Chain A
Amino acid sequence: MRAREPSRQDVDCQLFELLDCLAEYQQLRSSSGGLLRQAFFDLALAKRAAGYRWISPDLYSGRARANSTVAIDETTSPNDMQVVRGSVGRVEHTSETSECDFVRRRRGRGSQGSDQAEIPEDDDEKPTEPEPAAANDPLLWFGMLTPPQLKDAQRGFASSLDQLVRLAQLTRIMAAKQQDIQAALAALSVPNAS
Chain B
Amino acid sequence: MNEIYFNADAGYLEGIVRGYRDGLITLPQYLNLTQCETMDDLKLQLATTDYASFLQNEPSPMSTSTLSARCTDALVAEFQYLQQNAAEPISKFLDFITYGFMIDNVILLITGTLHERDTHDLLEKCHPLGFFDTMPALCVATTVQDLYSTVLVDSPLAGYFRECLSAEDLNELNIEIIRNTLHKAYLEDFYTYCQGLGEPTASIMAEILMFEADRRTVNITINSFGTELSKDDRAKLYPRLGSMYPEAQTRLARVDDMDQVKAILEQYGDYKTMLSGVGTGASSGGAGGDDMSLEDRFFAREVQLNKDSFEQQFHYGVFYSWLRLKEQEIRNVVWVAECISQQQKDKINNYTPIY
Is B167 among interface residues, defined by CB-CB distance under 8 A? yes
Pick from A3-11, A48-56, A118-126, A159-167 the stretch touching chain B. A48-56
Residue B169 CB within 8 A of the other chain: yes
Selecting from A19-27, A146-154, A169-177, A182-190, the interface stretch reads: A146-154
Do B335 and A111 touch across chains, with their CB atoms under 8 A apart? no
Known: A53-B127, A58-B125, A111-B173. A145 touches B180 (CB 8 A): yes
Is B256 in contact with chain A by the CB < 8 A criterion? no
Closest A residue to B234 using CB positions = A145
Pick the interface stretch among B3-11, B34-42, B216-224.
B216-224
Q: Name the distance in Å between A154's Cβ and chain B's nearest Cβ.
A: 12
Stretch at the interface among B76-84, B109-117, B241-249, B304-312: B109-117
Does the CB pair B169–A112 fall under 8 Å?
no
Chain B residue total in the interface (Cβ 8 A): 52
Chain A interface residue count: which class? 35 or more
Q: For B108, what are the chain A residues with a Cβ–Cβ distance below 8 Å?
A: 53, 58-59
Rounded to whole angstroms, the CA-CA distance of A147 and B338 in the bound complex is 18
Closest residue of chain A to B283 (Cβ to Cβ) is A148
B171 contacts A106, C-beta separation under 8 Å: yes
Complex Cα gap A56–B115 (Å): 14
Contact B344 A41 (CB under 8 A): yes
Q: Closest CB-CB distance, A163 to chain B, in whole Å?
A: 19
B226 touches A133 (CB 8 A): yes
Contact status of A62 and B117, CB under 8 A, knowing A105-B170, A108-B169, A133-B228 = yes
Q: CB of A69 within 8 A of chain B?
A: no
Which of B227, B284, B342 is close to A145, meaning CB atoms less than 8 Å apart? Answer: B227
Decide if A145 touches B223 in the complex (CB within 8 Å): yes
Residues of chain A in range 34-48 having any CB-CB distance to chain B below 8 Å: 37, 40-42, 44-45, 47-48
A37 touches B342 (CB 8 A): yes
* Of B125, B175, B177, B342, the contact of A44 (CB 8 Å cutoff): B342
Which residue of A42, A105, A111 contacts B228 across the interface (Cβ within 8 Å)? A111
**How far apart are the CA atoms of A111 and B223 in the complex, in Å?**
18
Question: Given contacts A59-B112, A61-B116, A147-B283, are A109 and B168 in contact (CB under 8 A)?
Answer: yes
* Total number of residue pairs linking A and B with CB closer than 8 Å: 124
Q: How far is the CB of B101 from chain A (nearest CB, A)?
A: 10
Give the complex CA separation of A41 and B346 in angstroms: 12
Q: Say how far A112's CB is from chain B's closest CB, in angstroms.
A: 5
- Are B335 and A44 neighbours in the complex by a CB distance under 8 Å? yes
**Are A149 and B284 interface neighbours, CB within 8 A?**
yes
> How far, in whole Å, are A38 and B307 apart by their CA atoms in the complex?
34
Whether, in the assembled complex, A15 has its beta carbon less than 8 Å from a beta carbon of chain B, the answer is: no
Q: Is the CB of A144 within 8 A of B228?
A: yes
| Chain A neighbourhood of B353, CB < 8 A | none
* B135-190 interface with A by 8 A CB criterion: 167-177, 179-180
Tell me the minimal C-beta distance from B47 to chain A in angstroms: 22
- CB of B291 closer than 8 Å to a CB of A: no
Say yes or no for A104: interface residue by CB 8 A criterion: yes
Q: Is A141 an interface residue (CB 8 A)?
A: yes
Partner among A41, A45, A62, A105 whose Cβ is within 8 Å of the Cβ of B169: A105
Cα A135 to Cα B248 in complex, Å, equals 30
A108 adjacent to B284 (CB under 8 Å): no
- B347 touching A41, Cβ below 8 Å: yes
Residues in B whose Cβ lies below 8 Å from that of A111: 173, 228, 230
Beta-carbon nearest neighbor of A64 in chain B: B115
Q: Which residue of A lies closest to B118 (CB)?
A: A62
Q: Does B25 contact A (CB under 8 A)?
A: no
**Nearest CB on B from A7, distance (A):** 48
B212 partner residues in chain A, CB cutoff 8 A: none
Given contacts A59-B115, A63-B116, A108-B168, 8 further A-B contacts (CB under 8 A): A40-B342, A54-B104, A59-B112, A107-B169, A109-B169, A111-B230, A143-B175, A148-B284
Instruction: Sort A-B residue pairs by CB-CB distance and give the 5 closest, nearest first.
Output: A108-B169, A144-B176, A62-B116, A145-B223, A61-B115
Chain B residues proximal to chain A, CB less than 8 Å: 64-65, 68, 104, 108, 111-112, 114-118, 121-122, 125, 127, 167-177, 179-180, 219-220, 222-230, 283-285, 295, 331, 334-335, 338-339, 342, 344, 347
27 interchain pairs, CB-CB under 8 A: A41-B342, A41-B344, A42-B284, A44-B335, A44-B338, A44-B342, A49-B295, A54-B104, A58-B117, A59-B108, A62-B115, A63-B116, A104-B169, A105-B169, A105-B171, A108-B174, A109-B169, A109-B174, A111-B230, A112-B228, A113-B228, A133-B227, A140-B172, A143-B111, A143-B179, A146-B223, A148-B222
